Every structure is written in structure tokens, then in C-alpha cells.
A and B are shown apart, each in its own frame.
Chain A
Amino acid sequence: MAQTEPVSLDDELFREIILDHYRHPRHRGLLDPADMASHGHNPLCGDEVDLSLRVRGGQVEGVGFEGQGCSISMASTSMMSEEIQGKSLEQAHELIGRFRAMLLEGQDPSSLAGIGDLEALSGVRRYASRVKCAMLPWTTLEAGLKQLEGGHEPAGD
């Protein structure tokens, strides 16, 4: 087995900004009514996310979530909610792509435009068992957007 140097967890995985989002999640609470509602579940570890979006004229006007899970999945959800608030659906899609590139394709976050604070989650890459936790809200958002764009705008207005 490859020997790895002891690393400091604090700056690699559990960065202060991640812990801050975990302790004080932004956008917590589901929106009602909402234009998009999506549920995500990681059967391996039981983490769950419910995501709701209000969309006006192709812009994300409001984001709200409920969920339970580890610091990584919850911080990722909170940070994602902050990032997509006010963005266009197209930008949201781009962000999903960039986040995926950072976590799954090993892209250097500094080469990814607009990744912002999400860069803090790049340390998760080294923990194969935790990548799914960080991805959970993003795959949930992607599934929800797909439904929304497929024309299933839930009743409401």
C-alpha cells in the first residue's frame, strides 16, 4: 500500500468554509410553491437532499433545501444553493459541469471560471468514498432541471 504522509485534515477536507456551511446552512427550508422539486438520495450512506427552485424567465429566483447527511454533502448543498441563486438555468448547467470536472475529472479548480468558493470542496477528490457526498446536491439539481426543462412545470402559476 502506498505510504501517504499524514495530512492536516483541517486544510484539506474539512476547511473552515465547509464547516461553516455545515453549521450554518444557507437557503435551508423548502420553497412553497416551487417550480422545481427534486429529491436525491445516496443509498450507500443514507444522505438525502430535497431541493426546490423558483424560476422566472429562465433565472433562478429562489433556492431552498432540506436534507440530512454528512458535512460534505450538506456543505456542498448549501454552497451550491448560494452559487445558483440569481443565475440563469444555462449558467446553472455550466456550473454543474464545472463542479463535476473538478471532482470527477480532476480538473484544477483554478482553471474553472466562476467556481468561486466551491473550490474549497476540491479536497474531497482524494477521498473516493466521499466524492458521492459532494456530488449529491449537484446530481439532484441536474435531475430536477431536466424535469423542469422537459416541460413538467409543476402547477403553481
Chain B
Amino acid sequence: MSALALDAERVRLDFPILAERVNGHRLVYLDSAASSQKPEVVIEAVSDYYRHANANVHRGVHALGERATELFESARTAVAGLVSADPRGVVFVRNTTEGINLVAQAFARERLGPADRIVCSEMEHHSNLVPWQRVRDQTGCQLAYIPVTPAGELDLEAAEALLRPPTRLLSVAHVSNVLGTINPVRELVRMAHREGITVCVDGAQAVPHMPVDLGELDADFYAFSGHKMCGPTGIGVLVGRPQLLEEMPPFLTGGSMISVVTLERTTWDEIPHKFEAGTPDIGGAAGLRAAVSYLESTGMEAVQGHGAALSDYAIEALSEVPGLTRYGPSGANQLGILSFNLSGVHPHDVGTVLDRYGVAVRAGHHCCQPLMRRLGVAATARASLYLYNTREDVDTLLEAIGEVRRIFSD
């Protein structure tokens, strides 16, 4: 087992909530794929904003207005830096879901018709599936899915066959929130672009856990959420190719996104502001900026290395539990998300017992009902790891799983 790439015991101390006790036990938070915890610096940044810089952005000529605007725009630059994107293509939205809906309505709905096809995959989160079903219903286009193999990976041969005319758009997860699979997005983008197909990537589970270089990845749209990457809830990011964003109509309209408004007509502001109607989540942006700087100072390579090593450790330990089935790949292709079932025990019961031991996991369909059907299960329990998790956390998980087995043994 390789040495862990960062000192998680020290990282833990940066997260005040991890000192909470739950049901008399030390909190073992293994639900970061749903939402990560926040380090002190992020909590402080949000509160500092409201204490020292609160005002609306891009409006006031006064000092606070300028501070707020500067903070908001510096958050944009910080996010662009983290994922190597052009800041003009960085649009602040509420979350991944909103980012994908923006692409669906302001891009796909505008351009697609009955002769066209959208391709997603069977492992998509409902956020990257339902918006496309809606576009299908609105435009009459087709919708097809790249199958998932029994190993929990995308079937690349099938993908290649689908990434041809009449497909015009591919939207796929970078990392699966159920299986932890890291999809070969670079390769998929290459296949798609050869055929002139636009690519949208759901990066909700990737950006928090691994270095992401959008320059290299070359996707046309890429969405992620602040709250899964140590930032606050309420702020997310859609990165779009600036040229496409310029060609697109707005998604929402109103204040802040205009250039000139008369009673007859309106001209839009420049990108990215054209896509940011109304007062944005400025406090959230301040927090996200702090989260980006926290992750950068820790080092995304180290975050990924830690996740991979801890994941290997957990996968090995889980593999020794009798009656436990894990769903998803192992090794370098897996990112700290461990879905499993215990034979004869419903995942909700697993979750309830674990909670009594202070271990927080998610149980359910994880907003991936089609994938659950593909796996032939109604639900799974899911433990997801992040930079503040330790081997001790994994050991506690295993002990608590032992308790589940004891209670439910015949």
C-alpha cells in the first residue's frame, strides 16, 4: 500500500464539523459525493463577505459595490485557473443541474430537431438525463444511451457507434457518482469532435477529486457544483466554449444580463454576464473562491492520490466482508466512491445502523434510477471518500458493517 499523499489527520482539523459527535460517536463522514464538508477558511470567507463587502455587483459606484464586484470577478478568475479555462467562458450558476439545463435549453433546444440525436449514458445522474429527455420532447430529436458494462465502465465500442450522425450532442459524466468510474472523456471528446458533435460533460464528481484541465479535455461545455468541492451550496459553474456562448441566446433574462433595454427590445451583455440574470450568489462566490484556493494549496494531485490510496484500502477491506457485493471498477479507474449491498439487508437498514455508529453514508438510488435497473438492484449503500477521510474512518465503517451483519444474521 503506497503512502497516502496528504496528511488527512491534519486536513481533518481544517473542517470544524468533523469535531461533531453523532449518536455518541466520532463523526465519520462518508457522504461527500452528495455534498462535501467545508473548511474553516470557506466558512470565514462567506462570513467575511457579509461583514465587510456586502453589496450588489456590477451596479453601485460606491466602495462596497466595488469590493463585492471585485470579489465576485476574482472568484471567476480563480475557478478558471483551477480548471484551466478562459474566464470569459466561466458562467456562475446555482449548481451542476442548472448548468446542464442551461446547455439543454439555450443550446440544444435551439439547434436540434427531429433529424438529430442526443447521446448520454446509462450511468448518468438524473441531472444529466432528465434535461435531455425534456429537449427530446421539445424538439422531437432522438435520445440514445451508451451502455454500461458489467465492470461498471462505459462500453466504448458502443459509444463509437453512437458518436456518428445523426448525433449532434454528447452529454456524459466525467466521474460516476455511483460507481466512481472515471470515464475516458478525452477520448470521447475526440471521437465526438471528429464527427462535429458537441460535447457537454457533467464534472460534478470530477473537479472536487482530481486535476481537471479543460484546455486539454477540449469539451464544449463542462458543469460542476461548488458544494461538492468544499465550497458553499448555491453556487456552481458552467464552463462553455466562449465562441458557443456568444452564439447562444440567454437562458434566463432580466437584470444584470443586458446591454441596452428599450421598451421594444433588449441587447444582451457580453459573455459570461449574458448568462447571469439577476443578483448572483455573491457570498457563495466568495466561499467558492476560498474553496478553490484551499484545494489548490493542498494540491489536486495530492487530493487525487489520497483518494486513490484510501479507495484501494477500502476496496480491499470491503472485498473481505462475506455477503458484500460492490458495484464499480477497481484500481486507477476508480475514484473514492464505493457502492455496495449486503446480502439480505436493505441499504436503508445498512444506513440506519451505520448512522448509530456515527458513520454517514448514503442509501438509495443516488439519483440514478436507470443505472440501478442496469445493476439489477433497487438501491445501494454508498460510502464516498474525500481529502479529510482517514484509514481510521474506513476501519470504523468496516466495524459498523460488522454490526449490520450481526443484527441481520439469521
Contact = CB atoms under 8 A, between A and B. Distances in A.
A46 B364 CA distance: 7
B327 to A, nearest CB: 16
- Mostly helix, strand, loop or mixed at chain A's interface? loop
Between B24, B356, B408, the greatest number of chain A beta carbons within 10 A of the residue's beta carbon is seen for: B356
A10 B407 contact: yes
Between A10, A46, A69, the greatest number of chain B beta carbons within 10 A of the residue's beta carbon is seen for: A46
Given A6-B23, A6-B24, A7-B23, A127 B352 contact: yes
A68 B20 CA distance: 35
A133 interface: yes
B190 to A, nearest CB: 38
Nearest to A133: B348
Interface string B293-329: 0000000000000000000000000000000000000
B349 A70 contact: yes
Between B21, B22, B352, B353, the greatest number of chain A beta carbons within 10 A of the residue's beta carbon is seen for: B352
Contacts of A60: none
A70 B348 contact: yes
B24 A9 contact: no
Contact of A3 (B24, B353, B407): B24
Contacts of B348: 45, 69-70, 72, 130, 133
Given A46-B378, A46-B379, A13 B352 contact: yes
A14 B355 CA distance: 14
Interface string B3-33: 0000000000000000011111100000000
A14 B407 contact: yes
A25 to B, nearest CB: 13
Interface in A1-58: 1, 3-7, 9-10, 13-14, 19, 23, 44-46
Contacts of A69: 346, 348, 378
Nearest to B344: A23
A9 B407 contact: yes
A23 B365 CA distance: 23
A68 B378 CA distance: 9
A1 B378 contact: no
A154 B345 CA distance: 36
Contact of B365 (A46, A68, A72, A129): A46
B24 A14 contact: no
Nearest to A9: B356
B157 interface: no
Contacts of B356: 6-7, 9
B234 to A, nearest CB: 23
A71 interface: yes
A3 B364 contact: no
A9 B22 CA distance: 15
A64 to B, nearest CB: 21
B410 interface: yes
A86 B365 CA distance: 37
Given A46-B365, A71-B346, A6 B25 contact: yes
B349 A71 contact: yes
A9 B353 contact: yes
A19 B24 contact: no
A119 B395 CA distance: 36
Contacts of B24: 3-6
Interface string A104-118: 000000000000000
Contact of B364 (A9, A45, A68): A45
A5 B364 CA distance: 27
Contacts of B365: 46
A1 B23 contact: no
Contact of B21 (A3, A44, A70, A129): A3
Contacts of B408: 14, 19, 71
A6 B403 CA distance: 14
Contacts of A6: 23-25, 356
Contacts of B407: 9-10, 14, 19
Contacts of A10: 407
Interface string A139-150: 000000000000
Given A45-B364, A45-B379, A46-B365, A14 B349 contact: yes
A9 B378 CA distance: 25
A7 B22 CA distance: 12
A5 B345 CA distance: 25
7 contacts: A1-B22, A4-B23, A69-B346, A69-B378, A71-B349, A71-B408, A130-B352
Interface of A: 1, 3-7, 9-10, 13-14, 19, 23, 44-46, 68-72, 127, 129-130, 133
Given A3-B21, A14-B407, 10 more contacts: A7-B23, A7-B356, A9-B353, A19-B408, A44-B364, A68-B378, A69-B378, A70-B349, A72-B348, A130-B348
